[in-house]
Amino acid sequence: MQKSQANNNNAAVRENLYALSLIRGVTLLGQVMALLYFTWVQPIGLPVAEISFVLSVYASLTAAIWLRSRRAVPIGDSEFFIHLLADIAFFSILLFFSGGAGNPFVSYLLIPISIATITLSRGYSIAVAVVALLSYSLLLKYYVAIVAIAPGHHKAVDNSLHILGMWVNFAISAAIIIYFISRMAATLKQQEHEIAIRRDAQLRDEQLLAVGTLAAGTAHELGTPLNTMKLVVDEMLLDTDNQVDLLLLNQQIEQCKTTLKQLHTTAEESQSNQLEAQPVKRYLEKVLARWQLMRPLLKTRIQFNDTPTISAVFHPTITQSILNLLNNAADASEKVDIAISWNTEMATICIRDFGAGLNADLLETLGQPFVTDKADGLGLGLFLSQATLTRFGGSVSLQNAPEGGTLTQITLPLLTAAAAS
């Protein structure tokens, strides 16, 4: 769980770094255009060589960071913090060569603070703010003076340059903040969605564990009375003439003991990691044969569509899940149609019964624990089947068939031994 959270945090930081590289690209483009304008169109005495060198280094760093953000490498908050400090440093150098704090673009120093506040912890955010404030303070005293954008320039001839620069800077800053905040909001929303999915999965696992523990305890408690009943019936068979009823009772007791034994065997196999691959068709034929023995009077039509000959590993709990869903269909009608197909990745089992169908309101809650449409049902079969198949990447969907009855579709991933263990 902790590893999954670390991976999600790493992915979020990588996405933030990618967004930061895009912001840098936009900023660089704006700086280059401004440099060209104030060098060739309306010269104001900028130190072109120094600014060009700083921009080229900054562009190289931005390209490297963009490439890094696209690679699957660990990126932590500390690295992102360093990148924000680098932004402040580079922009401070540019401001130093272009008028210092009198440059209308000086408020860009607020951008790294905004980004840090959204993406990093309070300690990192305070550190970024302190560095930005220190940089601004130094730029008030140390800079290469540019007469056209000097602080007292509003008394000079061309006040429009400073006003235009302030307007452009405000517009760009607003656009960058909106872009980054909206992107961060989308990332946070995605993280919340993933956390909700993990929370639901954890809740399902806890419910499965609780039901599994209850089933194991019940199986253990039923074993002793069933053995006692078997001994009593065997003795009664020797002393009574009512052999038919006693033989039937004996068969039912044997069936109960067999079911409990299978439950115990499944539990042992579930704890074992020694699962072997087997042909998909052979596995499904065995499951269906076992089910048909349980339902000898049921009319069934089974169709295997054209499918590749491949092998896969099937966890023991998957078998019981399929049997539960088949039994649900058998309980609903005296006839069941089954269509099976698969490819190299996924198997699909479509089960069609010809019963009364499902109530529309019940369809919305069906699959939750203790929700059932059967008078004597516990409401656990579908829940356990759905939770088990979901755990292994599969799914179960139920809908009313247009001609009547219920259509149950099982999608089952074909797993390797490592994935099924």
pLDDT (tens digit, 9 = 90+) per residue, 75-106?
A: 788 888 998 999 999 989 998 998 887 787 78
What residues pair up with 407 in beta bridges, in sequence order?
Answer: 352, 399
Kindly list the domain boundaries of the chain, sorted by start residue.
2-200, 208-271, 278-420
Contact by Cβ (8 Å): 71, 118: no
200 vs 299, residue with greater confidence: 299
The predicted-structure confidence for 225-245, as pLDDT tens digits, reads as follows: 667 777 777 777 666 666 666
Of 51, 253, 53, 214, nearest in space to 146 by CA: 51
pLDDT on residue 64: 86
Three-class DSSP category at 121: coil
Cα–Cα dist 222/232, whole Å: 16
- The pLDDT, as a whole number, for residue 164 is 67
Q: Which CATH superfamily is domain 278-420 in?
A: Histidine kinase-like ATPase, C-terminal domain (3.30.565.10)
Please state the pTM of the whole predicted model: 0.46
- φ, ψ for residue 389, nearest 5 deg: -65, -40
Classified as helix, coil or strand, 274 is coil
- Mean pLDDT, residues 59-78: 82
Residue 42, pLDDT score: 79
Residues 6+ apart with CB under 8 A from 165: 103, 104, 105, 149
Cβ atoms of residues 105 and 95 within 8 Å: yes
Specify the pLDDT at position 336.
92
**Backbone φ, ψ for residue 352 (5° rounding):** -120, 120
Strands (E), 276-405: 278-279, 299-304, 311-312, 335-342, 346-353, 395-400
Q: Among candidates 197, 203, 216, 213, which has minimal Cα distance to 368?
A: 203
pLDDT at 157: 41
CA 99 to chain centre: 49
- Number of Cβ within a 10 Å radius of residue 258: 10
For residue 381, name the pLDDT band (cuts at 50, 70, 90): low
- Would you say residue 339 has pLDDT above 90? yes
Under a CB-based contact definition with an 8 Å cutoff, are residues 112 and 88 in contact?
yes
Alpha helices in 140-242 (DSSP H): 160-239
Would residue 404 be called left, alpha or beta, if left means φ above 0 and alpha means ψ between -120 and 50 degrees?
A: left
- Write the pLDDT tens digit of every residue in 267-296: 555 555 567 788 888 999 989 988 887 787
